[in-house]
Amino acid sequence: MRVLGIESSCDETGVAIYDSEQGLMAEELYSQVALHARYGGVVPELASRDHIRKVLPLVDKVLRAAGPREAAAPVDAVAYTAGPGLVGALLVGATVAQSLAAGWQVPAMGVHHMEGHLLSPMLAADRPSFPLVALLVSGGHTLLVDVQAHGHYRVLGQSLDDAVGEAFDKTAKLMGLPYPGGPQLAKLAEEGDSARYNFPRPMLKKPGHDFSFSGLKTSVLLTWQSSDQLPQTRADIAASFQEAVVDTLTTKVKRALQSTGHTTVMVAGGVGANTRLREALAGMCDDIGANVYFPPMRLCTDNGAMIAYAGWLRLQRDGLHADYYAPVRARWSLEALT
Ligand code: KG4
Ligand code: ZN
């Protein structure tokens, strides 16, 4: 079985082919970062137009890379991100996927973007097994999920305001770092002293697994405004902010492991690329005898491989004749999946 995956929920056009025997056969990714940089954030209409320009050339590239095949169609199904995300951007991937699938007479499969992220650690050589706790940390979501099995997700906690990636991006922006801020802030933090500022660890005193990052963001803003704003101060604020976020996420993951009784945690989404977060989670898991898994670095942020893989898992479970249609939607709960 071979699945073509198309991701277009935000500002990356990702296309890949996953094959049951050969694994990932081809991957292509086009990032629109340069296009949106001058606006300091993603402009939805520009994102949709750029997906239109890029998606078919990338499909062509992955099909060529995968090579010819002795079958009526080059793939057995076409998976596309149906949501959550920017509706105009999603429509581009969904329309192209549905058209290709109709032409090849294979199923078009609507995939949940966060399920794609959630399953991406399974694409690494060392893969976790269910049940487990998943920490999904991206620009749009901060979710702690109890994963009993593939398709069985219970959201334990989520952010009540900003997503963690969004908090990284906004904090970076207020200190004048170029877009996209998250990775820039993380890089700057390497030169900073994380103990110089003791920023709040939000929601740690409250029971439950929810998060909130707006108070932390305000605290950083006030500190920045009243500081000398010299390069070392900026690095120290970056490091102290990152440490507060990492500490909060690590503590909440530990609590989620304790309350579910699971001994495995898997991390996914753009912020999963943060090396300090990886280090802190690995240390905490080591202390309590749990195991932690991450996707390969390049698959932390949005990509087509996770969509092809999530589509392939459903195809394997439900067969070629199941109804995989899903309309595009800006909001879509992971718990609605089965
Ligand atoms: O998963 P993703 O590519 O897109 C969404 O679905 O949102 O995540 C992007 C987010 C951005 O907010 C970006 O700043 C953040 O992930 N990010 C990072 C790092 N790399 C990406 N945040 C902190 N440290 C990083 N190394
Ligand atoms: Zn994402």
295 C-beta closer than 6 A to ligand 1: no
Contact criterion met (CB below 8 Å) for 253 and 268: no
Q: What is the pTM of this model?
A: 0.95
The pLDDT score that the predictor gives to residue 180 is 84
253 C-beta closer than 6 A to ligand 1: no
pLDDT digits (tens, 9 = 90+) for 66-80: 999 999 999 999 999
- Determine phi and psi for 155, rounding to 5 degrees: -75, 120
Contact criterion met (CB below 8 Å) for 306 and 116: yes
CA of 69 to the centre of ligand 1 (A): 36
The pLDDT score that the predictor gives to residue 219 is 97
CA of 102 to the centre of ligand 1 (A): 34
302 C-beta closer than 6 A to ligand 1: yes
183 C-beta closer than 6 A to ligand 1: yes
Give the mutation target among 10, 12, 86, 168 for probing the ligand 1 site: most ligand atoms within 8 A of CB. 168
CA of 322 to the centre of ligand 1 (A): 34
Q: What is the DSSP string of 45-114?
A: HHHHHHHHHHHHHHHHHHHHHH---SSSSS-SEEEEEEESS-HHHHHHHHHHHHHHHHHHT--EEEEEHH
Contact criterion met (CB below 8 Å) for 92 and 45: no
pLDDT digits (tens, 9 = 90+) for 22-32: 999 999 999 99
Tokens 């294979």 map to which residue? 106
Contact criterion met (CB below 8 Å) for 126 and 293: yes
Token pair listed for 101: 């699938």
Q: Which atom of ligand 1 is nearest to the CA of 164?
A: 12
CA of 289 to the centre of ligand 1 (A): 28
pLDDT digits (tens, 9 = 90+) for 280-313: 999 999 999 999 999 999 999 999 999 999 999 9
User: Who's near 249: CB < 8 A, 6+ residues apart?
Assistant: 135, 137, 164, 211, 277, 280, 281
- Residues in the chain where the model's pLDDT stays below 70: none
